[in-house]
Amino acid sequence: MKSSIIFLEPDKPVDNEYSERFRQASTAELIETFNGDIGKTGWVNARGRFHGALAYEFSKRGLSMLNDAKLSLDHKVRLSDDGLSLEQIENPDAPC
Domain presence at residue 95: no
* pLDDT one digit per residue (tens) for the chain, 96 residues: 354 666 656 677 888 999 999 999 999 999 999 999 988 888 888 888 998 899 899 989 988 887 777 788 888 999 888 777 888 887 655 555
Domain presence at residue 34: yes
Domain presence at residue 54: yes
Q: What pLDDT, on a 0 to 100 scale, did the predictor assign at position 5?
A: 64
Query: What is this structure's pTM?
Result: 0.80
Distances (CA, A) of 33 to 1, 29, 37, 38: 26, 6, 7, 9
Range of the domain at 77: 19-89
Q: What pLDDT, on a 0 to 100 scale, did the predictor assign at position 1?
A: 39
Domain presence at residue 38: yes
Please report the sign of the dihedral spanned by the C-alpha atoms of residue 30, residue 33, residue 37, residue 38. positive
How far, in Å, CA of 66 to CA of 84, rounded? 9
Q: What pLDDT, on a 0 to 100 scale, did the predictor assign at position 82?
A: 79
* Burial category of 30 from C-beta neighbours within 10 Å (exposed 0-12, middle 13-18, buried 19 and up): buried
Q: What pLDDT, on a 0 to 100 scale, did the predictor assign at position 71?
A: 81
How far, in Å, CA of 48 to CA of 89, rounded? 22
Contact 51, 7 (CB under 8 A): yes
**At 59, which amino acid appears?**
S
